[in-house]
Amino acid sequence: MEEVKGLVVSNHDLVYNALSFSTAALGIAFVYFLVSRNRIAPAYRNAITMSAMICGIAAYHYWRMFSNFSGGEWNEGYRYADWLLTVPLLVAELVVVSGVSKEVAKKVTPRLVIAALLMIATGYPGEVAAHGSSDRTLWGAISGAFMLYVLYELFAGEVGKTLKTQTGEIGKKLNNLRYLLVFTWGIYPIFYILGDSTSWLAEQIGLSPEEATTVIQVGYSASDVLAKAGYGLVIMSIALSRSESEGYRAA
């Protein structure tokens, strides 16, 4: 059987298809957000621009991962370079549509962006560390601490408090956005753990090393589409509601 990156054909095909699917989904989401900008009032356009940037950056990296993988190579760095650029943007765009004052936004955005950067930067050494090593656990835990800080800010900090005061349709959509964020962010560490076949969780399921690699790659790819394009669509619908409620009409 043909083997690439130690995978037998069926596992290989699953990863190949997931990378191809994510390239297409994120590429088209990039175009969609670009052409939809003028439906949104100028005050919230930056959020849509950020969605387009996020999906464009990701489509490029997925294309690199897909073509590398098809050629029998792999570099986990593409995924982390992508996250390093896109995850801070994801938190920044939430602040734009959250309804917090400019002063609060100026204060919390840098904090959230730095924590998001550190979450990804400290996750990388764990991701490339040997499976079953204490390094993988240690860096994973440090990265997890930064993730918890970001979630704390978004639920209990000033952004969280403002989000709770929003009522009606916009309030409901903001709530959905927060839950989508918790759900999508929460599953990354789970895939990180499942990706190591020697981890307790992977052993409970009985994943072989090849299966563990497939699960982490397919899992990260599916989560990325949800956390970038899906999240961008919810951001867009919030920005549209805000534009309409402020009397904005697209030209």
Q: What is the DSSP letter of 197?
A: T
The correct pick among 90, 94, 95, 113 for binding ligand RET (CB under 6 A) is 90
Is residue 147 classed exposed, middle or buried when 0-12, 13-18 and 19+ CB atoms within 10 A define those classes? buried
How far apart, in whole angstroms, are the C-alpha atoms of residue 58 and residue 69? Answer: 16
Residue bearing tokens 């489509």:
59
Binding flag, residue 215, ligand RET (CB under 6 A): no
Identify the three-state secondary structure at position 115.
helix
Q: Nearest residue to ligand RET, using CB? A: 123
User: Which 151-190 residues touch ligand RET, going by CB under 6 A?
Assistant: 184-185, 188-189
Binding flag, residue 86, ligand RET (CB under 6 A): yes
Binding flag, residue 83, ligand RET (CB under 6 A): yes
Residue 7 phi, psi dihedral angles, 5° rounding: -105, 140
Q: Binding segment for ligand RET among 20-28, 115-123, 210-218, 242-250 (CB under 6 A)? A: 115-123
- Our CB check for ligand RET shows the closer of 85 and 104 to be 85
- Our CB check for ligand RET shows the closer of 211 and 224 to be 224
Residues constituting the chain: 251
Residues 239 and 97 sit within 8 Å (Cβ to Cβ):
yes
Interface ranges with ligand RET (CB under 6 A): 83, 86-87, 90, 119-120, 123, 126, 140, 143-144, 147, 184-185, 188-189, 192, 224, 227-228
